[in-house]
Structure 1
Amino acid sequence: MNKKSSPFIIAIAGVSGSGKTTITKILVQKLPNAKALYFDDYDFDGPENIIRWVENGSDYNLWDLSPLLKDLEALCIQQLNYIVLDFPFAYKHLKMSDLIDLAVFIDTPLDVALARRMIRDFQDCSTKDILSDMENYILQGRKGYIEMLDTIKPNSDVMIDGTQSILNIVDDICEQLV
């Protein structure tokens, strides 16, 4: 695929709970002639143990993104103005980096992102399940969040305050496109 051919590809990156999916959905509604692809819609071959992967240097190219790349290629031949990717890696995966025109990092404080993730993922869970996840976050999971802040954030074109309202975030992204 040729990066400079239409459509303009925007990657929305951020830690889990930063609002990537919601922002992507609203952005696609606001932008003319746009479609979206969502990272979580795919079952990628990648590292079996994410924490070990982080501890070993987080080689993003170990992820086989072929299904996403195939779908992205199919969208690129359509007459679209924009493709918005809910894609946490920004430019860190070599096969994706040449295709992205703008990488936006939703910079959300870790406590806010964690609270959002808990509200989203644990509404119908027991207190025991919630406490177990909190313990896992403290012992291991936080390393993945820190990896994103240390690696993906500085590798993005734009950082946007993730504590703003979703509509303000979407407006900020749209301002980057003019």
Structure 2
Amino acid sequence: MKKAVVIAVSGVTAGGKTTTINELKLKFKNAKSLHFDDYDFEGEVDNFHQWVIDGANYNVWKLEPLKKDILKLKEDNEVQYILLDYPFAYKNDLIKPLIDCAIFIDTPLDIAMARRVLRDMSNATGHEIREEMSVYLKYARIAYEEMLNTILPNSDYVINGNMDLDKIVNQIVNIVKTKL
């Protein structure tokens, strides 16, 4: 059997990566997924604002645990597709050689922010939400823009994040079946 194809799905926080990956698993027989947010990495960045100002070095994350899991799945003859819920596309040198295709979901920042507030702040007070919006505008937006300026152009394909989930998934399925 052919070795598994590794498909990285990238995008901004709350841009639809995890939801898309979960739907793709239903579409592809013998697919497994790995989710960046399930790991704790050495070198993980706490202050994204400063990280971007300092040059946005994607190699500060020591992604050996993720690499180990990708390689393990690639050795499993039953796995045909490895779906990475992974924000960096080809920008981390350790993971880059393992990726066969990087797809960026280009979700407008206002939609991603609305999703994040709905997902993460459902029990928050109005004051807490206003405070989060202030932090976003002063410090966090720069990291979202970094993704758009660096990860999007370093991806093989860009999918419009304004579309319905079914359309996004169908476009990715079409890419995988016709291009890989």
Report the TM-score range of the alignment, normalised by the length of the smaller protein: over 0.9
CA deviation after TM superposition for structure 1 residue 138, in Å:
0.4
Decide whether the 8 Å contact of 2:15 with 2:105 is kept in 1: yes
Structure 2 CA distance, aligned partners of 1:52 and 1:104? 27
Decide whether the 8 Å contact of 2:64 with 2:94 is kept in 1: no
Structure 1 CA distance, aligned partners of 2:87 and 2:46? 18
TM score, norm. by length of structure 2:
0.94
Matched, 1:30 2:27: yes
Which secondary structure state, in structure 1, belongs to the residue aligned with residue 55 of structure 2?
coil
Structure 2 CA distance, aligned partners of 1:28 and 1:149? 26
Which secondary structure state, in structure 1, belongs to the residue aligned with residue 98 of structure 2?
coil
CA deviation after TM superposition for structure 1 residue 48, in Å:
3.5
Structure 2 CA distance, aligned partners of 1:77 and 1:128? 50
**What letter is aligned with 1:94?**
D
Mark the runs of 5 or more structure 2 residues left unpaired by the alignment. Answer: none
**What letter is aligned with 1:171?**
N
How many residue pairs get matched? 174
Structure 2 CA distance, aligned partners of 1:48 and 1:112? 24
CA deviation after TM superposition for structure 1 residue 47, in Å:
2.7
Counterpart mapping for 1:105-120 below 5 A:
105-120=104-119
Counterpart mapping for 1:152-167 below 5 A:
152-167=151-166
CA deviation after TM superposition for structure 1 residue 43, in Å:
1.2
Q: In terms of mean alpha carbon deviation, does 44-53 or 106-115 score higher?
A: 44-53
* Match of residue 9 from structure 1: 6
Mark the runs of 5 or more structure 1 residues left unpaired by the alignment. Answer: none
TM score, norm. by length of structure 1:
0.95
* Match of residue 39 from structure 1: 36
